[in-house]
Structure 1
Amino acid sequence: MAPRERPGILLSAGAARRLAELAQSAGRPQMLRVAVDGGGCSGFQYRFELVDAAEADDLHIELDGQTALVDPVSIPFLKGSEIAFVDELAGAQFVVRNPNAASSCGCGVSFSI
Structure 2
Amino acid sequence: MIDTSFSVTPNAAKRIAFLASQEAKPVMMRVAVLGGGCSGFQYNFSFEEQRNDDDLVIERDGAAVLVDSTSLELLKGSQLDYVEEMVGASFQVKNPNATSSCGCGNSFSI
Considering the TM-score relative to the shorter chain, is it more than 0.5?
A: yes
Counterpart of 1:42 in structure 2 is 39
Unaligned 5+ segments in structure 2 are none
Residue equivalent to 2:50:
53
Match of 1:106 in 2: 103
Structure 1 residue runs of 4 or more that deviate by more than 6 Å after TM superposition: none
Match of 2:94 in 1: 97
Are 1:79 and 2:92 an aligned pair? no
RMSD: 1.5
Distance apart, 1:51 and its partner CA: 1.2
Residue correspondences, number: 109
1:54-82 residue CA offsets vs partner (Å, 9 max, x unmatched):
11211111111211101111111000000
Tell whether the 8 Å contact from 1:6 to 1:61 is kept in structure 2 after alignment: no
User: Contact 1:22–1:30 at 8 Å: present in 2 too?
Assistant: no
The alpha-carbon deviation at position 27 of structure 1 amounts to 4.4
Q: Deviations over 1:67-104 (max 9, x none)?
A: 11011111110000001111112222111100000111
Select which of 55, 58, 64 maps to 1:67: 64
Structure 2 counterpart of 1:41, one-letter code: C
- Distance in 2, Cα, partners of 1:27 & 1:14: 23
Deviations 1:25-66 (A, max 9, x none): 224432110111111111110011011221121111111121
Rounded Cα–Cα distance in structure 2 between residues aligned with 1:6 and 1:59: 10
Q: Residue by residue, what CA displacement relative to the aligned partner does 1:12-35 show, whole Å, maximum 9, x if unpaired? A: 101110011112222443211011
TM-score by length of 1: 0.88
Contact 2:38–2:102 (8 Å) recurs in 1: yes
* Partners of 1:41 and 1:110 within 8 A in 2: yes
